[in-house]
Structure 1
Amino acid sequence: MAPNTDLPTRAAIVTLKSPFGGKSTAQISAITGIPQRTINEIYRRACQRGFDPNASVIKILPEYLEDAPRAGRPRKREAVQEATPEKSPQRSEKQAHEANKHACVDEEDEV
């Protein structure tokens, strides 16, 4: 399976293929090294998601270019990371008492 194209490259493809860029799919493929079919798919998806190639100002938002959510069950590793609490566990009172007990120093030991 080929790796996904990064967002900046997708933005460049959409910009070059729009009327502002005026490049053909073959020219963009030569510039980026990305297959023509992939270029057409990236541009088609951006237009479906709201990119307007005929607007007076070119506006490319991240949601036009991002990957769609994957179907199916998430990996177990991801589920475990989501279930992990973000805060570090707090010390119990017993642990705090033990730490304080060991931190106390007798004056006799100091002399």
Structure 2
Amino acid sequence: MAAKKMGRPPSVNPKSEQLSVKMDKTTETILDNYCLKHNVKRPAAVREAISRLNEEETRYFWSPEWRQLLEENETTLLKGTEDLQQTLSLLLSLIRSMKTKTGSEDE
């Protein structure tokens, strides 16, 4: 029988690329706090953050389907916004009127 090789087994996804990054103290603190909270090392946290950048591109809200829905409903959404603004204006007007009638403090 052939002798087995000693050491670690080969990685399925080897980490052959190296990245050196300079950061300010605030960014370093954010990274270190994340690592402590999630019990991960810095390289793993950076790889996770980079993966999330890719996920952001594929999220539903940025998908062509979502953009199409927004375009199709733009008029309805704008009308709803106008209605909400009118309702808020009326509500503020009523509050001012109540303050005047009750002698409450001015704004």
On whether the aligned pair clears a TM of 0.5, the verdict is: no
TM-score tier after normalising by the smaller chain length: under 0.3
TM-score, structure 2 normalization? 0.28
TM-score, structure 1 normalization? 0.27
Considering fraction of residues, name the structure with more helix. 2
